[in-house]
Amino acid sequence: MPPAITVRFTKEHEWIRVEGDVGVVGITDYAQQQLGDIVFVELPAIGTKVAKGGQAAVVESVKAASEVYAPAAGEVVEANGALADAPATVNSAPEGAGWLYKIKLANPADLNDAMDKAAYDAYVGTLH
């Protein structure tokens, strides 16, 4: 049986999908809607160490630039290079092909305070 894949969400509107000891990170559908049309994505370099809550990437839209924070500490093992030519993928598939980077988790317990989908949806409901 394959290991369970867990997705968690932060109050800063990042998501992380844990696959073994690697987390795939992106911004939520809510975040991309708030930003509008994404025109540029600045991704972390492979090997970069990120701290939980620390800036890891930048997403720029026609409205503003927004930092993307790391939902957990770890080392960047991959960045989504396809976004260089197609940053709008973050708008069309924010929780799929529009992922930003992958990290090897330093401490999976960092995600203990992150929300599941139901809790995140309830949180977003309080923002309107």
- Sheet with 14-19: strands ordered across: 6-9, 14-19, 22-27, 101-105, 74-79, 49-50
Q: Which domains does the chain have, with CATH numbers?
A: 6-121 (2.40.50.100)
Q: Where does the chain show beta strands of DSSP type E?
A: 6-9, 14-19, 22-27, 38-42, 49-50, 55-61, 65-69, 74-79, 101-105
Q: How confident is the model at residue 14 (pLDDT cuts 50, 70, 90)?
A: very high
Q: Which tens digit of pLDDT belongs to each residue from 68-125?
A: 999 999 999 999 999 999 999 999 999 999 999 999 999 999 999 999 999 999 999 9
Question: In terms of C-beta density within 10 A (0-12 exposed, 13-18 middle, 19 or more buried), how is residue 88 classed?
Answer: middle
What does the block give as tokens for 47?
Answer: 């090997």
Q: How confident is the model at residue 3 (pLDDT cuts 50, 70, 90)?
A: low
What does the block give as tokens for 4?
Answer: 């369970």
Please give the average per-residue pLDDT across 4-20, as a whole number: 92
Fill in the DSSP letter of residue 115. B
What does the block give as tokens for 63?
Answer: 């409205």
